[in-house]
Amino acid sequence: MLTSWIDGRYLPHRRARVSVDDRAFLFADAVYEVVAVYDGRFIDARLHMERLANSLDGLRIAPPMTSRALSLVARELLRRNRLRHGYLYLQITRGSAPRWHGFPDPPVRATVFMSVTHKPAPGESPARADDVVSMPDERWQRCDLKTTSLLANCLAMQDAIDAGGSSPWLVAEDGTVREGASSNAWIVTRDGVLVTHPLCRNILGGCTRGRILRLARELQLRVEERGFSRDEAGEAAEAFISSSTSFVRPVVSLDGEVIGDGGAGEVSLRLYEAFIDSLRRGDDLTSGLDDNDIRH
């Protein structure tokens, strides 16, 4: 039986509850992080804590705990659940208050929730590939904040599934591919350039995205952080997505049309192998949840 943590209590996951007046339930007034765990250690914890701080600041939610306190709870959850591979889910809401669109005045205590999910250890190559369907990006204009307001993402995901795909790529009005519903989007051009959308308010700065950029430069790949169109993606040599739960996952088709030779590309596989190798070396796995304070 899984153990979760909510507002100071370790409980069986099925008994973890929040109030019906919690603003996450009423307004999606909350932020969250998903931190991957490899061999019992957190992956890129510092980047996740920095992004959590940015999301809290963007929603004007006062950080309820220090990073060190979050770390103690997170590590105890791993221990109690005997988690070796998987991920930690962390959510912070503005708290519970009578329903009103304005912020509670005076402020109420934030709700903090954590849970874990077990996954198999990652293999030597990606476990699956994606058939991507392009969808109009209908989300709000602060996608750089990792909030629980994900209805547009969920609708896009289901639309992609209904269209026979496995995930969507969200496309701006000018035809630029921004990102997936829960991932960053990448292509490799015919002349071998790795391309992904630059950081801005229209995409979420993925922690895995940052690690891949570093690894790509270590591999001496040519990298461009720029927008690319749906048409350019269709003509690419290869494509893939990245996220904390999938690492590097090849994209083999876009809107039913094969990308490249229809299989995992050489660059995608090199980056996946380098990613797994960096985890085995322990690169940046433990720093961040202990020494980075998210209070402002």
289 belongs to a structural domain: no
284: number of CA atoms within 13 Å, CB side? 18
Instruction: State the pLDDT at residue 286.
Output: 45
Considering 48, 146, 197, 209, which one is annotated as catalytic? Answer: 146
For the chain, the domain total comes to 2
291 belongs to a structural domain: no
Instruction: State the pLDDT at residue 15.
Output: 96
The residue assigned the tokens 């929603």 is 59
Active site residue 119: no
Instruction: State the pLDDT at residue 284.
Output: 56
Q: What are the CA-CA distances from residue 154 to residues 135, 158, 160, 161 (Å)?
A: 12, 6, 10, 11
Asked if residue 94 and residue 46 are part of one domain, the reply reads yes
290 belongs to a structural domain: no
Instruction: State the pLDDT at residue 127.
Output: 87
Model pLDDT for residues 124-133, shown as the tens digit of each residue? 999 899 999 9
Asked if residue 176 and residue 113 are part of one domain, the reply reads no
Domain that holds residue 54: 3-118
Mean pLDDT for 104-112 is 97
Mean pLDDT for 46-71 is 95
Asked if residue 113 and residue 19 are part of one domain, the reply reads yes
CATH number of 139's domain: 3.20.10.10
Residue 145 confidence class, pLDDT cut points 50, 70, 90: very high
Residue 282 confidence class, pLDDT cut points 50, 70, 90: confident
Task: State yes or no: pLDDT of 290 exceeds 50.
Answer: no
